[in-house]
Structure 1
């Protein structure tokens, strides 16, 4: 069904009046400048190009680096995911293609979205990159479960998709905590936000020991 806009009163079909260009607000200009600055500071990292060709009953899916110089693009991608060898880069791309698979083909937008999530984590080594791939896969699966939940027609289907969505969401939260622990290398820090000292008192920073029996330093 086509939607035909209503003609405004006082204007004819032959009117050639040019609409005034939109003038962005100060907040919009600031937000745009901040986005451009963030984008330019980011390490160059190309996306992926997916081409599907059907030959009879066989669907041939070709995945390649979307860069004018494929060799350079592959190296930039490897650097962005902290890869130490070509095998890890190829394996990472293959697993991401599995997460972005729809039916018998790979969805290019979903794959580049998953890859951008890994890039955005700024992995420091291959383990962090691997966790990033898992997080991207879990997130995509959670969104698929959410879509199924919204489209469910029966109570039984709603409950099944809700359980799946909750499990995936909890898994994603656990992955975030695992990444935080790994990056902190198990270090524990204690932060003191505020210390109140009453009049006549004294603030002590460090270990405080107490003698048994309430004795003072003189033994009394």
Structure 2
């Protein structure tokens, strides 16, 4: 007989390519707020700080409060939804406060996008359909922009440079970047056959020019 999984118990998925790390503690929602659900409060805070990539205690609780508010479902915070969000934060591995804030926004945008997708699927009229579709579109465009911002921040704003199909003639120099003076660089064409056809024509032209110069020299 199949049984439904117990959603109140934390789960961990083993990854073969990552070092095993302790699972992030869950957040227990209370009538007056929340607390980190761990038998050792000090260790629980340390594990949560590691999950969020934050060393400051007040910053950690601030991020958690924001995630709790973003997890609202049906008018109140949802522990299962919150556990999912914290799990996603842990998987992205923020490394400082800036990354922690950006990653918290990313998981919140994802949750809201899925919420809009649910509203879109259950729209009763055209007005609800259009409203949910516009919101989903904006959130869907925001998420990849956040990923790009995170990657740019982690690479310290240095753009990647890709050089393709470049060959340098004997004695020449290849320069990558803004070039203001002539450099002896030959860039291969996309169509090798076209380059091969042009090569004999150039060689024949040089031979005719050299022959004409030799005749003039002889007449002189």
Tell me the TM-score normalized by structure 1.
0.67
The residue that corresponds to 2:182 in the other structure is: 210
Instruction: Report the structure, 1 or 2, having the larger helix content.
Output: 2
Aligned length: 168
Partner SS for 2:28: strand
Q: How many angstroms apart in 1 are the aligned matches of 2:107 and 2:146?
A: 10
For the 8 Å contact 1:99–1:137, the answer to whether it is kept is yes
The residue that corresponds to 2:5 in the other structure is: none
For the 8 Å contact 1:50–1:61, the answer to whether it is kept is no
The residue that corresponds to 2:25 in the other structure is: 47
Give the one of 96, 120, 123 matched to 2:91.
Answer: 120
Q: How many angstroms apart in 1 are the aligned matches of 2:99 and 2:149?
A: 10
Q: Is 1:90 aligned to 2:61, yes or no?
A: yes
Counting only pairs closer than 5 Å after superposition, residues 1-220 of structure 1 correspond to structure 2 as: 36-38=14-16, 41-51=19-29, 60=31, 63-195=34-166, 201-202=169-170, 204-206=173-175, 209-210=181-182
For the 8 Å contact 1:142–1:168, the answer to whether it is kept is yes
Q: Provide runs of 4+ in structure 1 moved above 4 Å.
A: none
Deviation at 1:40, TM superposition (A): 6.5
Q: How many angstroms apart in 1 are the aligned matches of 2:137 and 2:20?
A: 33
Q: How many angstroms apart in 1 are the aligned matches of 2:73 and 2:148?
A: 29
Deviations 1:70-125 (A, max 9, x none): 22011111122221211011111110100111244321111011111211111111
Q: How many angstroms apart in 2 are the aligned matches of 1:147 and 1:116?
A: 22
Deviations 1:29-84 (A, max 9, x none): xxxxxx624486243242324345xxxxxxx2552223332220111111222212
Q: Point out the structure with max Rg over C-alpha.
A: 2
Q: Structure 2 stretches of 5 or more lacking a match?
A: 1-12, 184-220
Partner SS for 2:26: strand
Q: Structure 1 stretches of 5 or more lacking a match?
A: 1-34, 53-59, 212-220
RMSD: 2.6
For the 8 Å contact 1:61–1:105, the answer to whether it is kept is no
